[in-house]
């Protein structure tokens, strides 16, 4: 059975794909992945992601500077990201946000870059892709501040937070996306959170090459494996896979403006 899905978060230009990137994209298409949002984490990787999006059918780009990359970003790197906005097939900003697990950059630097992405999102209308690791309190504070300025558009990517955080993010206008962790045996609490997300606000992703879902845990992940996560989530929500796939694909099309572009 083939269903149509969108992998809303994949790091296609990661070095793990250097030897077979074209084949990874082809396998995803053959598995029913109608679109991939390829995500940058530095100015350089964002530029490379745009090049691949322009070269490959069904691949779109998110451009930005990851919180763990923010400390080593040069003064001109933000200008390089902004220069990509408006390029064909650039559909989102990020991956941005805060990471207090690795703390590869001082929190104040991460917050500065997150604020830049949020303001650029509100200025351009492009949705923002939010990374949140052990930083829910700080993330919510910045999202609330941004929401006071105006409407928010974006996605809490690879969500592992609480039901309360998910509810507040949805209320602020964001989508909630789940990756392979939701399929893990001990992730029952996260599946319960996913089961309660409104059907018009849930998305699926791989975060490949990381976070391979069960039964592929520990292997290199790739976009075709989004089907495993979608199957798990559909079961947790008590929905037929076909219906869940239809809803999440429509959600991704709406958030990233893909309705007229997935056949490009």
**Domains of the chain by residue range:** 5-256
pLDDT at 38: 98
3-class state of residue 95 by DSSP:
strand
Q: Which fold has domain 5-256?
A: TIM Barrel (3.20.20)
Rg (CA), the chain: 17
Run of H or E including 61: strand 59-63
pLDDT at 263: 52
Note whether 154 and 179 are within 8 A (CB).
no
pTM: 0.96
Segment-wise mean pLDDT, segments of 10 residues, the chain, 264 residues: 92 97 97 97 98 97 96 94 97 96 86 98 98 94 98 98 97 98 98 98 98 96 98 98 98 93 60
pLDDT at 19: 97
Phi/psi of residue 187, each to 5°?
Answer: -95, 30
pLDDT at 84: 98
Per the document, the length of the chain is: 264
């Amino acid at each position: 059975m083939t269903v149509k899905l969108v992998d809303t978060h994949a790091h296609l230009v990661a070095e793990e794909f250097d030897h077979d990137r074209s084949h990874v994209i082809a396998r995803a298409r053959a598995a029913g992945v109608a679109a991939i949002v390829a995500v940058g984490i530095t100015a350089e990787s964002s530029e490379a992601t745009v090049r691949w999006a322009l070269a490959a059918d069904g691949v779109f780009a998110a451009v930005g500077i990851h919180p763990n990359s923010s400390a080593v970003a040069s003064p001109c790197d933000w200008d390089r990201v902004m220069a990509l906005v408006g390029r064909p097939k650039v559909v989102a900003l990020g991956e941005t946000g805060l990471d207090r697990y690795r703390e590869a950059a001082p929190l104040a630097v991460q917050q500065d870059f997150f604020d830049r992405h949020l303001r650029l999102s509100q200025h351009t209308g492009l949705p923002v892709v939010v990374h949140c690791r052990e930083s829910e309190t700080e993330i919510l504070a910045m999202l609330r501040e941004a929401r006071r300025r105006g409407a928010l558009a974006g996605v809490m990517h690879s969500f592992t937070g609480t039901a309360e955080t998910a509810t507040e993010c949805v209320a602020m206008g964001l989508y909630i996306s789940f990756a392979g962790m939701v399929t893990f045996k001990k992730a029952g609490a996260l599946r319960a959170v996913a089961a309660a997300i409104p059907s018009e606000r849930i998305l699926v992703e791989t975060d490949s090459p990381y976070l391979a879902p069960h039964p592929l845990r520990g292997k290199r992940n790739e976009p075709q494996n989004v089907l495993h996560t979608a199957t798990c989530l559909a079961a947790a929500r008590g929905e037929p896979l076909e219906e869940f796939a239809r809803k999440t694909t429509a959600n991704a099309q709406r958030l990233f403006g893909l309705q007229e572009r997935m056949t490009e």
